Chain A
Amino acid sequence: ETGVTQSPTHLIKTRGQQVTLRCSSQSGHNTVSWYQQALGQGPQFIFQYYREEENGRGNFPPRFSGLQFPNYSSELNVNALELDDSALYLCASTPWTATYNEQFFGPGTRLTVL
């Protein structure tokens, strides 16, 4: 087990709504990344947080935003949901002891936008 948990497991929203997804990682995992994985595709990098600051971002619009908290939990917020936002959302954490930036994933939140 990676010790990374995510909530909720599944979520159904309608177009235009806002959603908040949550992730909790182990103590000492001070880097967290969020990914979007569409069916049949590899995960797409959304952004990364280190010590509560965003320190990297992929090609996602500003309506995707995040927060990281001192207790090793984090959030992904998506505003103005679109149908194409339907996907599996994964968070991954990296321990400060990692040699090569290894990431350990949570089980994901499956978001459906209707």
Chain B
Amino acid sequence: RKEVEQDPGPFNVPEGATVAFNCTYSNSASQSFFWYRQDCRKEPKLLMSVYSSGNEDGRFTAQLNRASQYISLLIRDSKLSDSATYLCVVYSSASKIIFGSGTRLSIRP
């Protein structure tokens, strides 16, 4: 079993839809959690840190469920520009920074 797992997708949704991704992790000692987005052939860009209490940034909401060991990302009112690969990152220590393989999202007009 991978230490960090994501549904690879692709998710293909219409503009304006709400879409949600989950990411599960196996190390219960994990400390920090993040969502990054990566456009084709570009570097990952930090989208959100994921706080224990959950956090929201505009149309994006991130949640952490330590009991079930997953984090989630919700995108509301999706835009064409949201099309990208979304990577979850779990940070356990300086020697344990693990990226998921990414979930591909495609928004159609």
State whether these chains interact. Answer: yes
Complex partner residue of B102 from A33, A42, A90, A103, CB under 8 angstroms: A42
In contact, A102 and B49 (Cβ under 8 angstroms): yes
Complex partner residue of A56 from B43, B93, B99, CB under 8 angstroms: B93
Give the complex CA separation of A48 and B43 in angstroms.
18
Min CB gap B1→A, angstroms: 16
B85: nearest chain-A partner, CB-CB:
A42
Instruction: Report the interface size for chain A: residues with CB under 8 A from the other chain.
Output: 26
Chain B residues within an 8 Å CB radius of A50: 94
In contact, A105 and B43 (Cβ under 8 angstroms): yes
Give the complex CA separation of A42 and B87 in angstroms.
7
B95: nearest chain-A partner, CB-CB:
A56
**Interface CB pairs A-B, < 8 A, 24:** A2-B45, A42-B87, A42-B99, A42-B100, A42-B102, A45-B96, A45-B97, A45-B99, A48-B94, A55-B95, A56-B93, A56-B95, A58-B97, A90-B43, A99-B49, A100-B34, A100-B49, A100-B91, A101-B31, A101-B32, A102-B34, A104-B46, A107-B43, A108-B43
Chain A residues within an 8 Å CB radius of B44: 43, 90, 105
Min CB gap B85→A, angstroms: 9
Min CB gap A50→B, angstroms: 7
Interface string of A85-113 (1 = CB under 8 A from B): 00000100000000111111111100000
Main secondary structure of the interface of B (DSSP, over half): strand
In contact, B94 and A42 (Cβ under 8 angstroms): no
Min CB gap B93→A, angstroms: 7
Chain A residues within an 8 Å CB radius of B101: 40-42
B50: nearest chain-A partner, CB-CB:
A100
A55: nearest chain-B partner, CB-CB:
B94
Give the complex CA separation of A90 and B42 in angstroms.
10
Known: A42-B100, A44-B99. A101 touches B46 (CB 8 A): no
